[in-house]
Amino acid sequence: MSSLSLKEPKTYSLPSTADHASDLTQRKTSKFRRLIVFAGLTYFVLALTRHWSPVSELLGSKSVQNVKPDQHLCPQVNVLVPVVNRGLWESLGDVYRTEEFRLRAIGWLSGAVNVPTESYDGMDPVGVDPRWETFGKLHEYLDTAFPLVHSKLVLTKHNTYGLLYEWKGSDSSLKPLLLMAHQDVVPVDHNTVDQWTHPPYSGYYDGERLWGRGSNDDKSGLIGSLSAIETLLETGFQPKRTVLLSYGFDEEASGCEGAQTLAKDLLEKLGENSIALIVDEGVGFSEQYGTVFALPGVAEKGYLDTRIEVATTGGHSSVPPNHTSIGILSKFLVEIESHPHKAKLSRDDIFYSTLQCYAGHAKSLPSDLRKAIQHSVKSDKALRKLQRIAFQDLETLRLVSTTQAIDMIQGGVKSNALPEQAWAIVNHRISTLSSVEDAQAHDTELLKSLAKSFNLTFTAFGQHITDPAKPSKGRLTLSDAFGTSLQPAPKTPTSGDNALPYEILSGTIKATYNNHRQIEGDNIAVSPGMSTGNTDTRYYWKLTDHIFRYNHKDMKGGLLASNIHTVNENIEVDAFLEGITFFTTLILNTDESTSI
C-alpha cells in the first residue's frame, strides 16, 4: 500500500477555541497507510491469527460467500466525534498530521526513553533502594517537556515517584475521566546490549520507528496522554469534566509501590464508584479476515503463586531413603503438570464474545466457521463443537483456561547431605470464570493421594488436610508464595443500560481510526477483548465498574513487531501519533457526555 499523502503547512500554529469555525477545512479521502506496531501485553490476536486459518480447513470449507455476517451478534455504535468541540478536534487532527508536530512528538517520546527507569523484582522500599532514584530524573524531564501540564494541572506525588495529575473541570457534578500509564520499564539485560540495533536508551528515530526500552511499553502511553493534554492546553481548551492522570512506577513488578498507593489515595479522596471510566494499557486493533477489529480489554485473569514445600528428615547421602524430599517434590510437580485445569468454552467468556464479533462483522470469515459460531448461541451441541475446534490451538486454550507454570525450584545444600527441604513455585493465571479458591482447591485435591502415599502431614493454604498430630515421615505444605494472589477482575459492562462508557470508548476508537486516515464511514469493529496478563488497574476496581485496557495501536506483527520486553523494543511513530489523536478524541468525547 502506498503511504498516506499529506499536505504540510509551512508554519505550525495551534488553533484557539475562539477560532474553531475558521479552522474548518474540507478533507479529501486518502489511502491507508500500513501500521506495524505492538498493542500491549497480549497474545490474544496472535492466537486467533495462528488458529482460525487451519480451523477453516478442519471444517471442510473455504467458502466465505454462503453465510453473511450476522451483525446482531455484536452490535456496534456509530462513529462518535465531538459536537461542541468539533472544530477544535478537526483542527488538531490537521496539526497532528504536520511534519513539525511529528518531530515535536518524536522529541517528547525520545526524551522519556533516554531515562532508564528500570524496575526490578524484590526491590527494597522507596528511600532505601537507590535504584528508585532514576524516576526523579524522569520527573525533571517531564516538567521541562510539558510546561503547561505542570503549570495548569495540579500534581501530587505519592510514595515519592507516583504521579497524580488533576485537570480540574468546570462541572464538579461530572465524574472524572482517569487515564493511566506506567513510568517504569523492564530492565535491559546487560549481556544483550550489543545485540540492539540502536542503544537501548537512545530513543533513536530512524525515519519510521523510534527505538529503545519503554518506547512501546509503556512510555508511549505516558507521553501520548501528556502530549494530548499539553496540546489541548495550548489551544486554551478548558474541560467541563475533570481529567485525572495516574502514573505508577513499578507496574513491571506488580505495582505495590506505585499504583497501589495512588489508588488508595484516590479512593480515600473520591470514594467508591467515583470515576466515570478508566483507560490503561492493553489490547489494540488488527485486521482479521477482511475487517479491522479493536479489542479493548474488559477483564483480566486472576493470579496465584502456589508454593509447594516438602520437608523430610535429613542425613548422610550414603544411606538414602527411597525418595528424598527433592524426589518427592518431583513427583508432585509431575502430577501437577499431568493434570492441568479443565477448560470449557462458555457463553460468559470474553473470548466467546470476540468470536461472536468475528461472526458478526468479519467480511471473509469461512462460512462453516461462521455457522458454528452462529449456531452455538442457542445450541449447546454447537457450542461443544466450537470448543473442540477452538481448543486445538494451545494459545487459545491458555487464554480461556486457568493456566499453571512451574517457574521456580530449590532444594538441598550439599551433595553428600540428604535435603531436608525442597520447594517449587507454580504460577497460575486464573480464568475469568474461576477464582483463587478454585485454583487452591485444585492443587490441594490433586496432591492428597500422593501426600498419603508418602505418609506426609499435609497442610494447604492454612488448613490441615491431615491430622498434624499423627506420626508421619515429613510435611507437605501448600501456601500463597508471596501473598500476591488476585481474584479475576470484575467484567466491565459492554451491553445494557450500564454500558454507556463502553459505547463512548467504541465510538471514540472509530472516530480516531477515521481521523488519522482521513476517511469516512464505519471502518473498524469494536469487540470485548482480554489480555493474559495483569495491569495496574488491579488496584482501581472500587473506583469504577468501567475499566478498559486499551492501546490504540495496530497489533499487526504482534510481539515480533515491537520486541516488547526484549532486544530492540521499538514503536512506529505513525502509531504513536494516532495514539495522541485517540487520547485527544477521548477527552473531548467524554467531556461532552452528561450521562456517565
Proportion of the chain above pLDDT 90, given as a percent: 81
DSSP state of 208: S
At residue 45, what are phi and psi to the nearest 5 degrees? -70, -30
Q: Which residue has the cell 451478534?
A: 73
* pLDDT tens figures, 116-159: 999 998 899 999 999 999 999 999 999 999 999 999 999 999 99
CA 521 to chain centre: 28
* pLDDT tens figures, 86-122: 999 999 999 999 999 999 999 999 999 999 999 998 8
Annotated binding-site residues for Zn(2+) read 182, 217, 252, 280, 565
Determine the average pLDDT of the residues in 405-409: 96
Question: Is residue 366 over pLDDT 90?
Answer: no
* pLDDT tens figures, 462-518: 999 999 999 999 999 999 999 989 999 999 999 999 999 999 999 999 999 999 999
**474-480 and 457-460: which strand pairing?**
parallel
User: What is d(CA 199, CA 212) in angstroms, rounded to the nearest whole number?
Assistant: 7
* Structural domains of the chain in order of their starting residue, each with its CATH number: 35-299+489-592 (3.40.630.10), 302-342+401-480 (3.30.70.360)
pLDDT of the residue at 557: 63
What is the set of active-site residues? 184, 251
Question: Grid coordinates in use for 255?
Answer: 505495582
CA 578 to chain centre: 18
Q: In what order do the strands lie in the sheet with 474-480?
A: 403-411, 421-430, 302-312, 474-480, 457-460, 463-464
Label residue 234 left, alpha or beta by phi (over 0 means left) and psi (-120 to 50 means alpha). alpha
**521 HSE (CA, 13 A, CB side):** 4
CB 161 within 8 A of CB 258: yes
* pLDDT tens figures, 323-364: 999 999 999 999 999 999 999 999 999 999 999 999 999 999
Determine the average pLDDT of the residues in 429-455: 97
Annotated binding-site residues read 182, 217, 252, 280, 565
List all residues 6 or more positions away from 147 whose beta carbon is below 8 Å from its beta carbon: 230
